[in-house]
Structure 1
Amino acid sequence: MPSTDESNRPLWARLFRLPEQAGLPIQVRLRAVIVQAILDGRLGPGTPLPSSRDLAQALSLSRNTVTAAYEQLVEEGFLEARPRRGVFVSADASPLQAAPAEANPFAPDTTAGSGPRAPDWRARVLRSQRDRPTLAKPERWHGYPYQFVYGTYDPELFPTDDFRECCLRSLSRVQLPHWTPDFEQVDVDELVTQIRQRLLPKRGVYALADEILITVGSQHAFYLLAEALFDARTRVGCEEPGHPHARNSFRVRDPRFVNIAVDDDGLVVDAMPQVDYVFVTPSHQSPTTRTLSLERRQWLLRKAELQDFVIVEDDYEAENLYAGKPMPALKSLDTGGRVIYIGSLSKSLSPALRLGYIVASRELIAELRVLRHAMVRHPSAFLQHAYALFLSLGHHESHARRVNQIMQERLARVAQALRQYLPDFRFTPPQGGASVWVEGPDWLDSAELADVARGHGVLIEAGRVFYDQPPYPCPQFRLRLSSISGAQIEAGVRALALAVHELAAARGVRRDAPLH
């Protein structure tokens, strides 16, 4: 352990080397490395620390910064200040360690080299999801320059100041009683009120408080419904192609999937066989972005009544509308209580926030509330309260307007780039949402293209993952626009075109499409 002598400043500099963490103040980083050294046992109880002057010089920091860090750590019990002697590691700063276990007299004899037998987990796991197709991204995917995929926040769009304001207000002393108690099975009243009064009426939906359940994102809602409603006998209709995350969540209960075709007007209702439930994304169908026509919405609701099935509506990106008037949600047209409505609060901000909701009959919501309690108790009450403030202060509406404006600009850029660099690829500009569904030539398989495109720094979402029974070759793929800046789109599509030419050359396919 280095002494506090001035000659040991290089040793202290190595021990307390500050990590590079953009956004964290230097004082916070200094406190973190001191605490880590204490918890790791490199600074034992009673160890003297250098004076604030010596440590400031060793680390090339302001003496005020070191003093403030010491004072905070004294207050938190990691350090103690002894008058006229200096600063020392507190006697009880290190956590208690469990005593080494004594030899187990019942342990098997391992002298022959055969250790204890481990459980066979492959045989024990009853519902494995490891081999299910999903929208997986490669390791270190953040390092790819052209990310046409879903999964990160957009620094150009994230309302940093507004969201920080709401988090700080939720942490004020006067607001603590609103979210710090154990909520058991209930939700934060303020958020439920904002959903009822501000969000749902925009979609033509009106619900009572006991008809709304907060979830940890849309995927949690899918899982809850599968646990409560599905078993091996349940017939679940899904769009083909459709939302892979919903299908994977439903598969936990191994229902009988019924694939239903999708065309330019969305789900082909006339093609539906008998089902118990049907999952639809009517606002912007995932992944094709097509909108379910009003005529089909009405016929789907009528058919649900005639054939006694229930509709699960994921109102996917309904607020991202670029042209025309918004189509009413299926739930808004439902007079028989046959629609379970799923909404997301966090998708336009960041997928990491994980906040959504279900609107359904109070009887079903009561069942789901008990099931949710058994799973996660309840979603973060702090996040619920902060987002309620975000809604009440109008930040959600202003953010949605900004997202729509920027997404329109990105859509125009990607459309222009596709026409320039991949003119033989087909797509229909969507009326909303944050993605474009692209279909390449018949010889192209988008999964193979995705592999080659990664070598050019491009990430795309290959179409195969959206199908329950994917064709081969599968020429469709999705370009998400929520994670890539507008300035990168043209270069990204050009790099994708280079990958197409490389794949075509490997296949012996001649291409005359321009690259510049």
Structure 2
Amino acid sequence: MHTTEHELMWRQLLPKPDRSAAPLQVQLRTALVNAVLDGRLPEGLRLPSGRELATLTGVSRNTAVLVYDRLVSDGYLEARPRDGYYVCGAIGRAEVAPIAGSSAPNAPDWGARTSHPVDTHRWLDRPAGWQQFRYPFVFGQFDPSLFPLSDWRECSRQALEVAAVESWAQDGSGGDSALLIDQLIRRVLPRRGIAATPDQVLLTLGTQHGLYLLADLFVRPETVMGVEDPGYMDARNIFMRREARIAPLPVGEFGLEISNELKQCHYVYCTPSHQCPTGVTMSTDRRLALLDHASRYDQVIFEDDYDPETQYVGQPLPALKAIDKCDRVIYLSSLSKLLSPGLRLGYIVAPAKVIEQLRVARRLMIRQTPGNNQIAAAKFIQQGHYDRLLHVTRQTLSLRAAALVVAIRRYMPELEFTEPHGGSSLWVRMPTRVDLLALRAACIAQGLLFDPGEPFFLSAESQRYIRIGFSSISLNRIEPGVEVLGKILEGFSARARRH
């Protein structure tokens, strides 16, 4: 083999094979395409031979030649008989536009033009790279080790068969996958006690998308929107962007309370199954009282059933929607919490007239939801994988919850909390003497992360709560993580006592 010209350059441009990542062919193709498009490989440059490329990258010669041939057919390279492969000029390169600086003449005043300044919203931010933390006590993230990847891959493959592609690859008129709607109606909603027809179900890109659609349809300036306090801050932020008047509704040991604040609301947003963030399950009596109140005061309830099927002590209560006799509950839920948050698969159940209006709003926003994941999810449910994953997840969360409770009582007995019977987090009241912001920073420095409680409250005043999630931390790291948290907390408490 002849020594490749500019071998050092090629070794810098081409990736070292990572057999734990994407297929080698994909890695090599991606590196070459990027180098062509950004100009690092100029038009007319001769590339190494297939044998030389294989040696430089550590792949087989067949893989190297196959990558070259695909790039030729796609117009990135040109094959010259008995001469080799050359960079082709058929594919246009991206032009990088100059970035206008803040001193650009006559630049618009963007702050004055925007109607909803983002600094009015309060978020639950996590540091970049939190997935690599040793002790990620965070909520709302799934554990990849529990996910049946081979089953999902097979369902995705089936969704890419010719007949299936023809059903989802078209630019439709806002329709949803009939197969997924059918599986939701037959297999998922009945477990929550809900009976529905296809015209009463709308697919969304997750529950948050559903909330945005509902806000667009119902909320106007000065609409009084009742939200739990503490409660899900992004729901609150969505309603605030529509200029609603937010009415904070207190939460007690039986869920959202029937309070004087509730009487003034036009709409009520609540999380009855496992209240966000406290984890409290709304009692049957409270659910009946809330429905009676809504009927008496002509209110509509947005029920966010975001964590519905993770009850591991006792039987889960039916959804609020299931016992609503007056059609005053609009139900939102999601498949994403169990499958993967990144899949963005949610749905709304509401009267057909409401779904019809929401479908129009969704069409104007995104036209339609991606069809391939709908088909894959439908087959995943249809073939029993969803039920099995649900069973495994319940068992796993039960073990983790028990381990977390035991560890906290051992290492931090002064903390106040209610032992969970479902869900994937613990709402914990902290000592008054501790600076929670400083505590969180110290924990992050030790590779431990929890969610602060303050963003869940409407008031910006300092609150004494944190949320400890256990959906994405392995069982064997729970006790060591709690021990680390306990030692850090004790250090803060000792300094506070000295002062």
**TM-score, normalization by structure 1:** 0.91
Corresponding position: 1:161 with 2:150: yes
Give the drift of 1:7. 5.0
CA contact (8 A) 2:306 2:337 kept: no
Give the drift of 1:15. 3.0
Alignment of 1:121-270 (within 5 A): 121-150=110-139, 152-270=141-259
CA change 1:71–1:276 in 2 (3 A) is same
Q: Distance in 1 between matches of 2:134 and 2:300?
A: 43
SS at match of 2:246: strand
Q: Distance in 1 between matches of 2:84 and 2:481?
A: 58
Structure 2 residue aligned with 1:432, among 415, 422, 434?
422
Give the drift of 1:447. 3.6
CA contact (8 A) 2:37 2:94 kept: no
- Matched with 2:410 is 420
Q: Distance in 2 between matches of 1:308 and 1:77?
A: 63
Q: Distance in 1 between matches of 2:104 and 2:219?
A: 42
Corresponding position: 1:411 with 2:401: yes
- The amino acid that maps onto 1:413 is A
Corresponding position: 1:310 with 2:307: no
Q: Distance in 1 between matches of 2:19 and 2:366?
A: 31
- Matched with 2:309 is 319
- The amino acid that maps onto 1:405 is Q
CA contact (8 A) 1:447 1:464 kept: no
Deviates more, 1:314-323 or 1:122-131: 122-131
CA change 1:316–1:99 in 2 (3 A) is closer
Structure 2 residue aligned with 1:400, among 385, 390, 394?
390
CA contact (8 A) 1:187 1:213 kept: yes
Q: Distance in 1 between matches of 2:6 and 2:210?
A: 58
Alignment of 1:473-492 (within 5 A): 474-492=463-481
Q: Distance in 2 between matches of 1:506 and 1:381?
A: 57
Q: Distance in 1 between matches of 2:43 and 2:227?
A: 62
CA contact (8 A) 1:183 1:378 kept: yes
CA contact (8 A) 2:50 2:65 kept: yes
SS at match of 1:236: strand
CA contact (8 A) 1:457 1:495 kept: no
CA contact (8 A) 1:313 1:341 kept: yes
Q: Distance in 1 between matches of 2:94 and 2:419?
A: 61
Deviations 1:390-431 (A, max 9, x none): 111111111000000000111011111101110011111111
Corresponding position: 1:464 with 2:454: yes
Corresponding position: 1:372 with 2:369: no
SS at match of 2:312: coil
- The amino acid that maps onto 1:95 is G
Alignment of 1:305-384 (within 5 A): 305-384=295-374
Q: Distance in 2 between matches of 1:57 and 1:503?
A: 57
Give the drift of 1:278. 0.9
Give the drift of 1:23. 1.7
CA change 1:100–1:12 in 2 (3 A) is closer
Give the drift of 1:199. 0.8
CA contact (8 A) 1:156 1:485 kept: no
Q: Distance in 2 between matches of 1:14 and 1:305?
A: 69
SS at match of 2:144: coil
Structure 2 residue aligned with 1:95, among 92, 97, 122?
92
Q: Distance in 2 between matches of 1:66 and 1:416?
A: 55
Q: Distance in 2 between matches of 1:99 and 1:34?
A: 19
> What is the RMSD computed on CA atoms of the aligned residues?
2.2
SS at match of 2:86: strand
Consecutive aligned runs of 4 or more in structure 1 exceeding 4 Å deviation:
96-101
Q: Distance in 2 between matches of 1:115 and 1:178?
A: 49
CA contact (8 A) 2:38 2:93 kept: no
- Matched with 1:105 is none
Q: Distance in 1 between matches of 2:162 and 2:273?
A: 41
Question: Greater relative contact order: 1 or 2 (C-alpha under 8 angstroms, separation 6 or more)?
Answer: 2
Q: Distance in 1 between matches of 2:457 and 2:496?
A: 24
**TM-score, normalization by structure 2:** 0.93
Give the drift of 1:370. 0.8
Deviations 1:302-340 (A, max 9, x none): 111111111110112110010112201110111111000
Q: Distance in 1 between matches of 2:461 and 2:83?
A: 76
Paired residues, number: 494
- Matched with 2:375 is 385
Q: Distance in 2 between matches of 1:335 and 1:440?
A: 41
CA change 1:141–1:21 in 2 (3 A) is farther
Give the drift of 1:97. 6.4
Gaps of 5+ in 1: 102-112, 511-516
Percent pairwise identity: 40
Deviates more, 1:83-92 or 1:310-319: 83-92
CA contact (8 A) 1:281 1:315 kept: yes
CA contact (8 A) 2:263 2:297 kept: no
Give the drift of 1:376. 1.2
Structure 2 residue aligned with 1:506, among 489, 495, 498?
495
CA change 1:86–1:480 in 2 (3 A) is same
Structure 2 residue aligned with 1:72, among 70, 74, 83?
70
CA contact (8 A) 1:9 1:55 kept: no
CA contact (8 A) 2:216 2:242 kept: yes
- The amino acid that maps onto 2:185 is R
Give the drift of 1:115. 4.3
